[in-house]
Amino acid sequence: MRDQNAKQNDAMRSDGRILECRGIERSFGGLKALKSVDIHVDRGEIFGLVGPNGSGKTTMVNVVTGFYPPNAGSVQLFGQDITGMKPNRVARMGVARTFQNLALFRGMSVLDNILLGRHVHMKPGALPSLFYWLWGAREEIAHRRAAEDIIDFMQLQDIRDEPVEVIPMGLQKRVELARALVAEPRFLILDEPMAGMNQEEKEYIARFILDARDERNVSILLIEHHMDVVTAICDRIVVLSYGEIIAQGEPKAAIADPQVITAYLGERAAARVLQANGGAP
Amino acid sequence: MFYRRAGIRFTRYRDERQIWPLPLDRRLMLLVLLLALAAPYLLDRLYLVGYLLPWLIWATAALGLNLLMGTAGQVHLGYGAVIGMGAYGSVHLVRAGAPLELAMLAGGLISAAVGIVFGAAALRVKGLYLAMATLAMQYIVDFVISHVPFISGGSQATITVPPVRFLGIPIVGDAAVYYMALGVCIVVTLFMLNVRRTAFGRALAAVREKDYAAEVIGVDTFRFKLLAFWVSSFIGGVVGSVLAVCYLRSISPDQFHIELSIQLVAMVIVGGMGSVLGSFFGAALILFAPIVLNNLIGFMADSMDMQISTDLRAHVPLMLYGGLIVGFLLWEPLGLAKIYNNMRNYFLVWPFRHAQR
Ligand SMILES: Nc1ncnc2c1ncn2[C@@H]1O[C@H](COP(=O)(O)OP(=O)(O)O)[C@@H](O)[C@H]1O
Ligand SMILES: [Mg+2]
């Protein structure tokens, strides 16, 4: 295990950068959703991307994963330039992500959804299906083991055969996380994985995120609204507002920045808060 | 009742992923298979050649189209042309002296090759536009077949096929043709059943359900759509060669017009998108409903001494048939297979309805 990690580390650049985005710009029509944003994610880090609704967080992730090629700027992944690369190629490089609005495959069982996460490691084609008994079965079963590992890890045993659309929202989010993790990514991007969850469910997910980083050596980019979670599990954050970085660094310090409070609460309310706390919340 | 799920537990992944995990389903399928094998000895020639054989052939074609429409979610309004290309390709090869095995393979490859060229162009667009693009393919292929004398021998011409052998067995007589069609049908059916439980089928379903989510897990959506076109067209081509070389023993351009494509689409929709069993149901309904309706109306006219004009008599079955398809689209878009499944699920746990899922 240790050996394998060492090898993987060597394969990466010496400074251990997972992601390096420079001067990313992206606009939709006249709207500038991202205005020259620089972010980076280091290996083994849980990096938080924070900001009010519409500040460009999801757009940033879409730029990284290849859905929206940037209008300007460059994206480097594992030391390789991937600007404008197709999403499926980015995924093959070892990036997995979840969506803010779930993107599970309806009509399929939880297990099949998770098995789909193994796609990058499989060789799907018509011939393995035609010669299932000679060829396809062995591959299916090998990957079933990996899927069952994740099902245990994410505690989804009871619902593995349920159609994915009938289970509650919180569990669906967990299934999506499982589908991302089963691909054994090196870099995991989570877009508001706790949206609409209660405290207990949030704690579960936070635990899974920490475990994924510690036990599975995944570096993580986390978009999150819940500040308690962000300060508890992120190593470093960047705060976006209207497509610009307004604060970054250690989570507690960054979200206490007057500009951040203003961005979240608006000018007047922010002024009141800052005054009440004597300028140091 | 007959179906029971209780007490069946699997200890190996392989067992759980069987095509028919329930023993009763397996026994039922074995019975169907035995009946299918014994059919030439059990059935009258009229039923064998007039009903069962076309049913097998068109069900196989519906399976091929269902891979594309049901599993991968891509409309194809030119599948009749796909079948036609395979049919003409293999007929010419057989006439040139090629063995049937090779001609079938080549028929499939011709359809797949032309199909994928159109597919690559058509797949740049989605939904309605894809439908239009495949429709264009239907008309272009139709035109080329009937206007190139080298292929069709002229737009009115019928080309006949010399006797053929398959693996050394002469395909002459009803039984041999029937077993030929049955063999192809079984292979395609098993393939389709396996697709559903392997990574290939999951990837196609992912492309159908949410293309962006498919991309993010590493599925090259364009490539898999093309692959679906390829495989589906290949099956169409093989069916075409069985149809023309073995069953009809002659071929003319008017067999592969748009009407055929529409009928095939109707089979898939009425039977059930993405359902293997549904393709058989759908083919049966589309093939036999007009005949049954026609007989019914004839019977009613005669027995009740009604004066139905021949004109009306010719059109009423067609109208009812159209109504049937609209009815399915409205009330059971998942087709006959879904109706069958609902009944089966009901009996699986009867009388404990709460245990249904
Ligand atoms: N596909 C799109 N087309 C047009 N505008 C978009 C699109 N995606 C995002 N936007 C706009 O870009 C801005 C940033 O959106 P987004 O990245 O989703 O914000 P966040 O995820 O931080 O809430 C918003 O104003 C949004 O309306
Ligand atoms: Mg967002």
**B1-44 tens-digit pLDDT:** 455 666 778 888 888 888 888 888 888 899 999 999 999 999 88
Which pLDDT does position A228 carry in this prediction? 87
R_g of chain A computed on alpha carbons: 20
- Looking at residue B268, the DSSP 8-state letter turns out to be H
Contacts of A115 in chain B (CB under 8 A): 199, 202
Residues A132 and A79 in one domain: no
Task: Give yes or no for residue A136 CB within 6 A of ligand 1.
Answer: no
User: Which range of residues forms the domain containing residue B88?
Assistant: 22-355
Which pLDDT does position A6 carry in this prediction? 46
In this prediction, what percent of chain A has a pLDDT beyond 90? 61
Residues A273 and A227 in one domain: yes
Tell me the DSSP string of A2-31. HHHHHHHHHHS-TT-EEEEEEEEEEEETTE
In a domain, B13, yes or no: no
Determine phi and psi for B14, rounding to 5 degrees. -60, -40
Pairing state of beta strands B250-251 and B159-160? antiparallel
Task: Identify the domain boundary among A132, A163, A184.
Answer: A184
> Is B216 in Cβ contact with A132 (below 8 Å)?
no
Task: Identify the domain boundary among A164, A184, A204.
Answer: A184
Which residue out of A132, A144, A145 would a mutagenesis test of the B interface target, given it has the greatest number of B Cβ atoms within 10 Å?
A132
Residues A213 and A269 in one domain: yes
- Give the residue from B81, B104, B261 showing the smallest Cα distance to B171: B104
Which pLDDT does position A13 carry in this prediction? 45
Residues A196 and A72 in one domain: yes
Cβ of B198 under 8 Å from any chain A Cβ?
A: yes
- Give me the CATH number covering residue B196: 1.10.3470
Q: Which residue of B has its CA nearest to A106?
A: B209
- Look up tokens 């737009």; give the residue: B155
- Look up tokens 């999403």; give the residue: A87
Residues A143 and A256 in one domain: no
In a domain, A29, yes or no: yes
Q: State the first-to-last Cα distance of chain B, in angstroms, to the nearest integer.
A: 17
In a domain, A99, yes or no: no
Ligand 1 mutation pick, A31, A34, A191, A224, max ligand atoms within 8 A of CB: A31
In a domain, A133, yes or no: yes
In a domain, B272, yes or no: yes
Q: State the first-to-last Cα distance of chain A, in angstroms, to the nearest integer.
A: 44
ipTM: 0.86
Residues A205 and A254 in one domain: yes
Q: Which residue of B has its CA nearest to A102?
A: B213
Distance CA A68, CA A78 (A): 20
Angle CA B231–B233–B234, to nearest 5: 60
Give the other-Cβ count within 10 Å of B103's Cβ: 25
SS3 of B160-220:
ECCCCEECCEECCCHHHHHHHHHHHHHHHHHHHHHHHCCHHHHHHHHHHHCHHHHHHCCCC
Helix/strand/coil for A280: coil
In a domain, B6, yes or no: no
R_g of chain B computed on alpha carbons: 21
Q: What average pLDDT does this structure show over A114-128? A: 91
In a domain, B62, yes or no: yes
Task: Name the residue facing B13 among A87, A103, A144 (closest C-beta).
Answer: A144
In a domain, B52, yes or no: yes
Distance CA B273, CA B267 (A): 9
**Are the C-beta atoms of residues B337 and B271 closer than 8 Å to each other?**
yes
Distances (CA, A) of B349 to A159, B24, B344: 20, 14, 9
Distance CA A33, CA A241 (A): 10
Q: Which atom of ligand 1 is nearest to the CA of A60?
A: 17
Cβ of B209 under 8 Å from any chain A Cβ?
A: yes
**Are the C-beta atoms of residues B106 and B96 closer than 8 Å to each other?**
no
Helix/strand/coil for B242: helix
User: Which range of residues forms the domain containing residue A180?
Assistant: 105-184
> Is A183 in Cβ contact with B217 (below 8 Å)?
yes
Nearest alpha carbon, ligand 1 atom 8: A59
Residues A120 and A84 in one domain: no
Least-confidence region, from A117-126, A170-179, A208-217, A252-261 = A252-261
Determine phi and psi for A97, rounding to 5 degrees. -145, 160
Average pLDDT, chain A: 88
Ligand nearest to the backbone CA of B212? 1
Distances (CA, A) of A189 to A79, A192, B325: 17, 10, 46
In this predicted structure, the answer to whether residue A7 has a pLDDT above a threshold of 70 is: no
In a domain, A85, yes or no: yes
* pLDDT interval class at A281 (50, 70, 90): very low
Residues A113 and A240 in one domain: no
Residues A69 and A141 in one domain: no
Which pLDDT does position B219 carry in this prediction? 94
Q: Min CA distance, B200 vs chain A (Å)? A: 5
Ligand 1 mutation pick, A35, A57, A58, max ligand atoms within 8 A of CB: A58
Structural domains of chain A, count: 2
Pairing state of beta strands A46-50 and A236-241? parallel
Task: Give yes or no for residue A51 CB within 6 A of ligand 1.
Answer: yes
Nearest alpha carbon, ligand 1 atom 7: A28
In a domain, B8, yes or no: no
Structural domains of chain B, count: 1
Q: Which amino acid is at A187?
A: F
Task: Identify the domain boundary among A136, A167, A184.
Answer: A184
Residues A201 and A237 in one domain: yes
Nearest alpha carbon, ligand 1 atom 17: A56
In a domain, A48, yes or no: yes
Q: What average pLDDT does this structure show over A119-123? A: 91
In a domain, B4, yes or no: no
| Max CA pair span of chain A | 73
Determine phi and psi for B253, rounding to 5 degrees. -60, -30
Task: Give yes or no for residue A30 CB within 6 A of ligand 1.
Answer: no
> Is B216 in Cβ contact with A103 (below 8 Å)?
yes
**Are the C-beta atoms of residues B112 and B227 closer than 8 Å to each other?**
no
Q: List B159's β-bridge partners, or say none.
A: B251
In a domain, B11, yes or no: no
Name the helix (H) or strand (E) containing A219: strand A219-223
Residues A55 and A190 in one domain: yes
Distance CA B185, CA B272 (A): 18
Distance CA B259, CA B253 (A): 13
Residues A86 and A129 in one domain: no
**Are the C-beta atoms of residues A86 and B215 closer than 8 Å to each other?**
yes
What is chain B's pLDDT, residue by residue, as a tens digit (357 residues)?
A: 455 666 778 888 888 888 888 888 888 899 999 999 999 999 888 899 889 999 999 999 999 999 999 999 998 999 999 999 999 999 999 999 889 999 999 999 999 999 888 888 877 877 788 888 899 999 999 999 888 888 877 767 788 888 878 887 887 888 899 999 999 999 999 999 999 999 999 999 999 999 899 999 999 999 999 999 999 999 999 999 999 998 988 888 888 989 899 999 999 999 999 999 999 999 999 898 888 888 888 888 778 776 777 777 778 777 877 888 788 888 888 888 888 888 888 877 777 777 666
